[in-house]
Structure 1
């Protein structure tokens, strides 16, 4: 049996592909290559170039590769863009996911792992935030993901399929072996932007908001290394296969947060340079603080973080950025 990875030519998806292959799984990647790269797909995997909403081709790939599990990463992920272009997010994240889930049900796929987000919580009532806390998204990105979680819950109640929805916090870093990393042009993730500045690809880093009710006025986030996140997906797949009647919604984070200023200080230390910071106003849809209560994922899975150190995350991201610079 094979695992289908949608969005497997993208940042997080390509790392999940590596983790699956390294664990001995057969992998088929479905990606339309709008934001992903064919070279990011490990040669041990099979790439099918199509959109996840193309039900005919997706179903043919499921049948042709005997897929019994899907890891769904495909979608749009920029929070400010979701505020200005909401229908793009409801099409790419919600409507396309509905098509994919239907393809899975029709073809008898029994396990589904969904790339969800901490943005489903909106501005949490407490920090750290736990899975049972209210989900009140403050941007279309978070709402588009929460709607997909609801679809999965309802489908799992009606059909022989179980799922794990992993609510990511802030994903950063790159494969320690240098096989993949974040490569999309114009990325908005802080550590990616900062290492681009450190390698001369940007002139500065914008700090969006210095008046948040946090310890230094800048936003606080829980940063998780992408390779640790990929390993959590493999562990979640093992759990779904071992317990076919159960589904799970789990926070994927480390349970501690760093402010924007603290992250940029870490980048300065790792690079031994001072990156220019430009202070700007808050962006629409940004909460002051998001930190995971990760007790549930630690209890449900044998997964334990291996690279949960901020400077390690920065070093791996920087190494990948230098690789990209050498490629031109």
Structure 2
């Protein structure tokens, strides 16, 4: 994707600190950003979830944790970034219910330290990887951009707390930010060289593909008695490269307009768990046995977001419009990286 001619390079903003840039979404953002000229990318990652092999050659890397304020100050002093993109959150709903304090420590306290150092070094622009989980059991589906946030689990609440902090920080310090709210990032880079590799893996599509690869006997369906068309949860699935494109467009908009904004990034339609499993069966040619288990605490029945504002203001359009195309991209990566980046 090419930025508009009046994008970042025209304003002199060229150094971008990507926090969590060795992780799943962050690494795909770096892949897309690194193909464009006039950018200097610095990755900050503690590698607790990220992978050193996902970092392209020539990209500057700093191993650090955003909760380490001393390390943050060293990195900001050394690299003098013009903008920050933040992908460092812990992301498991179930884990957040079991360990809420750990989630607030990383997702909220870590972001506070990051914003404090940005303020000290006069870094004005911030792109936040938020979540449509802030909306909880939304009353309107697809969830509109101006829906009222009512998170129902600690993970969603940590994202909402940060969004509120950003609004107050703009009021007090002149910070300009964009919050991008989305649900299930999925798929893999079109090259098949970069993809999803979590330990433990909790995301549906890679778990399904592990069955196709013979790494697990079946895929678990957590509840089949929801009020949906087949009884299983409905979720939005957005390809990770489409998300990367939205982040790049958001940064260009932020610099050009100097205006904070929030955008939902969704498909406007969702797929049930069973529909995703069937798509994987069609793509892989594997029967993929499934097993119904009890519901998980904190799982809403339907989570689908709209993206009207992002489409109208950012000109964002998804390249991957079907669940089959998303699963096919993930399959291309996983079948050649059976053990992820430890292939």
Which runs of 4 or more aligned residues in structure 1 lie more than 6 Å from their structure 2 counterparts after TM superposition?
Answer: none
Confirm or deny that 1:294 pairs with 2:307: yes
Confirm or deny that 1:86 pairs with 2:91: no
Structure 1 residue 64: deviation in Å? 2.0
Q: Deviations over 1:287-326 (max 9, x none)?
A: 0001112101111102211122211110111111122227
Which residue matches 1:114? 128
Moved more, 52-61 or 160-169: 52-61
Structure 1 residue 32: deviation in Å? 0.6
Structure 1 residue 131: deviation in Å? 2.2
Residues in 1 aligned to 2:58 and 2:318: alpha-carbon distance in whole angstroms:
25
CA contact (8 A) 1:183 1:324 kept: no
Under a length normalisation based on structure 1, what TM-score does the superposition of the two structures give? Answer: 0.97
Summarize the alignment of residues 1-80 of structure 1 with structure 2, pairs less than 5 Å apart.
Answer: 1-24=14-37, 25-80=39-94
Summarize the alignment of residues 64-213 of structure 1 with structure 2, pairs less than 5 Å apart.
Answer: 64-213=78-227
What SS does structure 1 have at the residue aligned with 2:88? Answer: coil
Moved more, 250-259 or 19-28: 19-28
Residues in 2 aligned to 1:318 and 1:58: alpha-carbon distance in whole angstroms:
37
What SS does structure 1 have at the residue aligned with 2:109? Answer: helix
Q: Deviations over 1:234-259 (max 9, x none)?
A: 00000011011x11111111111010
Confirm or deny that 1:283 pairs with 2:296: yes
Q: Deviations over 1:183-210 (max 9, x none)?
A: 1122111111111111112221100110
CA contact (8 A) 2:145 2:308 kept: no
What SS does structure 1 have at the residue aligned with 2:82? Answer: strand
Structure 1 residue 37: deviation in Å? 1.1
Under a length normalisation based on structure 2, what TM-score does the superposition of the two structures give? Answer: 0.93
Residues in 1 aligned to 2:144 and 2:161: alpha-carbon distance in whole angstroms:
18
What SS does structure 2 have at the residue aligned with 1:249? Answer: strand
Which residue matches 2:286? 273
What SS does structure 2 have at the residue aligned with 1:5? Answer: strand
Residues in 2 aligned to 1:202 and 1:162: alpha-carbon distance in whole angstroms:
45
Residues in 1 aligned to 2:114 and 2:189: alpha-carbon distance in whole angstroms:
28
Structure 1 residue 150: deviation in Å? 0.6
Structure 2: gaps (5+ residues):
1-13
- RMSD of equivalent CA atoms: 1.2
Residues in 1 aligned to 2:256 and 2:268: alpha-carbon distance in whole angstroms:
27
Residues in 2 aligned to 1:269 and 1:233: alpha-carbon distance in whole angstroms:
31
CA contact (8 A) 2:181 2:264 kept: yes
CA contact (8 A) 1:21 1:44 kept: no
Confirm or deny that 1:217 pairs with 2:231: yes
Residues in 2 aligned to 1:55 and 1:131: alpha-carbon distance in whole angstroms:
33
Residues in 2 aligned to 1:35 and 1:120: alpha-carbon distance in whole angstroms:
23
Q: How many residues align?
A: 327
Residues in 2 aligned to 1:302 and 1:63: alpha-carbon distance in whole angstroms:
35
Residues in 2 aligned to 1:43 and 1:303: alpha-carbon distance in whole angstroms:
28
Structure 1: gaps (5+ residues):
none
Residues in 1 aligned to 2:200 and 2:74: alpha-carbon distance in whole angstroms:
34
